[in-house]
Amino acid sequence: MARRLLTLLSAISIALTTLIFAAPLIADGENNISFTPEEEEYISEHKVLKIGYVQDRIPVSFSDENGELSGISRYIFDRVSELCGLKFEYVPLPAGDVTYEYLLNEGLDLVSSVEYNKENQTARGILISNPYLSSRKVVVARDGLDFRYGADLSIAISTGSQTLRKVLGAMYPNFKLVDYPSISDCFDAVNTGAADLMIQNQYVVEYWITKPIYEKLNVIPVLGLEDELCFSAVVAFDGGSGTPPSDGRILIDILNKTIASMTEDEVGSCTIRGIMENQYRYTLSDTLYRYRYAVSAVAAALLVIILLAVLLIRVHIRYTENKADAKIRADFLSSMSHEIRTPLNGLIGLNTLMSQSLDDRERLTAYLNQSNMTANYLLSLINDMLDMSSLQTENLDLELRPTDLELVFDTVSSIAENAMARKSITYTADRNLEYRCILGDGVRIQQVMMNLLDNARKFTPKFGKVSLSVRQEMTDSGKVLTSVTVTDNGKGMSEEFQKHIFDTFARELDTVSKGNQGTGLGLPISRRLALLMGGDLTFVSRKGEGSSFTFTFTAPPAVMPETNDAGNENETENSHKRILIAEDNELNAEIIMELLREYGFESDLAENGRIALNKFLNSETGTYGVILMDLLMPEMDGFETAAAIRGSGRDDAKTVRIFACSANSFDEDRDKAIASGMDGFFPKPIDVGELIKKINE
């Protein structure tokens, strides 16, 4: 929108400068023209003249939706007709070079938009008028082009601009002039790099440059090269002598007197009106290109929905296999239907609102933010369902490693403090960590703590209070018992609901009705994780007064691992190499390549595993530093491709890093990916920040 406004203001400014350029061509004074008797006789005998016009020079000269001449030229020609008494019939000229024989055969009297070059026209024996419209010629070039007049550059020329071709050929002999069918084809040639630049009328350039796909093209003024448009009389020369008949000279004299009689205000008014009424109108493809990132975001949200639907079917099958009771199945489906349909309804509604607000950037941004939050909620639902499924089938294993509880505490507190502040909730935290390092699963510990703090934030009103405390003691068995307590002065829970708080999808009705969004899976998952870690999750709550949850877990003490701060001083060599993306979904591939490009990475695409393997084997050693591998692909899947690369025997086959990128995020998929030779696993939708961090490690 801002670019379009600037273009409009620029166009008006350009039109006003027409008055300055036109000054030498136009005489001030009244519109009283003194014609000779010979000229008066010509006007009375020739009531209607046919004028041929060029169709693709918007806003100067073009055919409108009714096939009629429109633009700046139409307003000037109509004024010329009013002043001199001649009537004009406007005839569109075919695209490309038009021969003089064609003009004679069509019975045309005049041709408009002829580029003024007195010496050239005189040498060819063609009768031309003085210019009726003048503007600058400008250069259009790609952003970053090293434009120098002496360089060997290619120039796109629209077919039919032969005068410009001759002038440029004389002025810039080093330039290579290439013909294109139309002005829009010239723009496309420069935009794609097929040509280095083009030179064209400034009014025409200002019209086309607003097209979103040309956003990286620059406009450069050309000194000493003006675009002066005039009429040319179409007359048959006497007996091949090269002398034009007197009728042609009389007509040109009439036009010259009429043009000279037009005031600066008249020419300026015609110019401004032609520009204002014929601005570039966005097409659907322009809108999609302009908001391509928004469209990608919506598409990503739809992918999440599709993934969720597939996951729902899978979880439902697992659930019904382990829980045959009909009532449980009905409760599960009812809850999941509600959990999916509510945000899905919101996403569909937001998509509709976005499609209606494409020209309102502020409103579109707000809708995109809401869409992103809704999509993240759907993603959290997927993660909770995965955890719940794994816990119910006892397939979830803790990753035990030396864990710095001080670091976990600081991370959780930092996130919680910012979230509480946005709701004006007073947040306090204290800790008593006698055993800072334990052998445990830091990710799962953080997950439970964040779940409890997030619940406290949701159900505590504005200006309320939330506190976090951590205590430790050594048990008789030689393990450390850690107690994490989260207390709030929020809504609290009824005694009836407390009986079902750890049931799957359990939520108190009055909190749901008041807009506290949640899956009803967080607390059941947290308690099962606590039990898996040798502890428990207990609570005390009173309706209207608040709640207090205590999460306990036991773990052996451990020795703090040594850190190497110097390891991050420089990026690895791989981060400067190309990235090979093996992805059979075109939209996913386009999104990840665009995101990587934004971070400065170059990438190549392989549509399936076999193509990825061949691209790797046929590349020079060390070309690819990272391979992002989809798991489910035709020809060869990701597992087979990774194993084939590792076993290829190339020098870089063992060092290239391969990361799985898949919508299948169960533990067996991760294990199989690692077993096939991959270095890591990114579930879809991919966390771009984590991916870039991993690439740059």
Residue 677: CATH number of its domain:
3.40.50.2300
**pLDDT given at position 614:** 93
On whether both 455 and 327 belong to a single domain, the answer is no
Rounded average pLDDT over 437-464: 88
**pLDDT given at position 396:** 67
Q: Report whether 606 contacts 635 (CB < 8 A).
A: no
Q: Model confidence at 615, in pLDDT bands (50, 70, 90)?
A: very high
Q: Model confidence at 160, in pLDDT bands (50, 70, 90)?
A: low
Q: Which residue has the higher pLDDT, 602 or 364?
A: 602
Amino acid occupying residue 172: Y
Alpha-carbon distance of 379 to 382, in angstroms, equals 5
Q: Which of 379-383, 437-441, 688-692 has the lowest mean pLDDT?
A: 379-383
On whether both 24 and 78 belong to a single domain, the answer is yes
**pLDDT given at position 640:** 93
449, with CB counted inside 10 A (0-12, 13-18, 19+), is buried
Work out the number of other CB atoms within 10 angstroms of the CB of residue 289.
Answer: 15
Share of the chain above pLDDT 90, in %: 25
Tokens 């013909």 -> residue: 179
Asked whether residue 493 is assigned to any structural domain, the reply reads: yes
On whether both 494 and 455 belong to a single domain, the answer is yes
On whether both 520 and 575 belong to a single domain, the answer is no
**pLDDT given at position 22:** 39
Rounded average pLDDT over 388-401: 65
Q: Report whether 429 contacts 456 (CB < 8 A).
A: no
Alpha-carbon distance of 336 to 448, in angstroms, equals 22
Give the helix/strand (H/E) hosting 390: helix 361-392
CA distances from 481 to 211, 337, 487, 554, 580 (A): 65, 40, 19, 5, 47
Q: Report whether 378 contacts 308 (CB < 8 A).
A: yes
Residues found in the chain: 697
Paired tokens of 67: 């096939």
On whether both 388 and 405 belong to a single domain, the answer is no
On whether both 407 and 352 belong to a single domain, the answer is no
Statement: residue 73 has pLDDT above 50:
yes
Helix (H, G, I), strand (E, B) or coil at 356: coil
On whether both 295 and 422 belong to a single domain, the answer is no
Amino acid occupying residue 483: S
Asked whether residue 547 is assigned to any structural domain, the reply reads: yes
Residue 444 backbone class (left: φ over 0; alpha: ψ -120 to 50; beta: rest): alpha
**pLDDT given at position 17:** 45
**pLDDT given at position 418:** 79
Q: Report whether 27 contacts 41 (CB < 8 A).
A: no
Asked whether residue 560 is assigned to any structural domain, the reply reads: no
Q: Model confidence at 5, in pLDDT bands (50, 70, 90)?
A: very low
For the domain that residue 437 is a member of, what is the CATH number? 3.30.565.10
Statement: residue 391 has pLDDT above 90:
no
Of the spans 116-125, 311-320, 363-372, 433-442, which averages the highest pLDDT? 433-442
Q: Which of 285, 302, 326 is the last residue of a domain?
A: 285
Q: Which residue has the higher pLDDT, 253 or 567?
A: 253
| Mean pLDDT rounded to a whole number for the chain | 79
Q: Model confidence at 113, in pLDDT bands (50, 70, 90)?
A: confident
Q: Report whether 631 contacts 669 (CB < 8 A).
A: yes
Residue 71 C-beta-side C-alpha neighbours within 13 Å:
25
Alpha-carbon distance of 27 to 25, in angstroms, equals 7
On whether both 298 and 315 belong to a single domain, the answer is yes
Asked whether residue 204 is assigned to any structural domain, the reply reads: yes
**pLDDT given at position 4:** 46
Cross-strand partners of 254:
none
**pLDDT given at position 618:** 92
Paired tokens of 262: 């037009």
**pLDDT given at position 179:** 87
Paired tokens of 393: 């089938």
Statement: residue 16 has pLDDT above 90:
no
Asked whether residue 320 is assigned to any structural domain, the reply reads: yes
Q: Which of 366, 392, 418 is the last residue of a domain?
A: 392
Show Cβ contacts of residue 280 under 8 Å, excluding neighbours closer than 6 positions: 58, 207, 208, 210, 211
Statement: residue 158 has pLDDT above 60:
yes
**pLDDT given at position 570:** 39
Q: How many domains does the chain have?
A: 4
Q: Model confidence at 79, in pLDDT bands (50, 70, 90)?
A: very high
Q: Which of 78-92, 508-522, 537-551 has the lowest mean pLDDT?
A: 508-522
Q: Report whether 192 contacts 216 (CB < 8 A).
A: no
**pLDDT given at position 551:** 95
Statement: residue 557 has pLDDT above 80:
yes
Rounded average pLDDT over 403-418: 84
**DSSP class of residue 128?**
B
Q: Which residue has the higher pLDDT, 105 or 572?
A: 105
201, with CB counted inside 10 A (0-12, 13-18, 19+), is buried
Q: Give the residue numbers spanning the domain of 666.
A: 570-695
Alpha-carbon distance of 483 to 431, in angstroms, equals 10
Give the helix/strand (H/E) hosting 155: strand 154-158
Statement: residue 600 has pLDDT above 70:
yes
494, with CB counted inside 10 A (0-12, 13-18, 19+), is middle
Asked whether residue 561 is assigned to any structural domain, the reply reads: no
| C-alpha closest to that of 384 among 320, 454, 324 | 454
Statement: residue 635 has pLDDT above 70:
yes
Work out the number of other CB atoms within 10 angstroms of the CB of residue 151.
Answer: 12
Helix (H, G, I), strand (E, B) or coil at 182: coil
Give the helix/strand (H/E) hosting 15: helix 2-22
Show Cβ contacts of residue 154 under 8 Å, excluding neighbours closer than 6 positions: 175, 176, 177, 178, 195, 196, 197
| Alpha-carbon radius of gyration of the chain | 37
- Residue 447 CA from chain centroid, whole number: 33
On whether both 327 and 348 belong to a single domain, the answer is yes
On whether both 252 and 383 belong to a single domain, the answer is no
Asked whether residue 243 is assigned to any structural domain, the reply reads: yes
Alpha-carbon distance of 51 to 231, in angstroms, equals 9
| CA angle, 514 then 520 then 522, to 5° | 120
On whether both 585 and 628 belong to a single domain, the answer is yes
**pLDDT given at position 330:** 53
Q: Which residue has the higher pLDDT, 600 or 561?
A: 600
For the domain that residue 128 is a member of, what is the CATH number? 3.40.190.290
**DSSP class of residue 71?**
S
Residue 290 C-beta-side C-alpha neighbours within 13 Å:
20
| C-alpha closest to that of 187 among 162, 217, 165 | 217
Q: Which of 555, 579, 610 is the last residue of a domain?
A: 555
Most distant CA atoms of the chain, gap in Å: 126
On whether both 53 and 113 belong to a single domain, the answer is yes
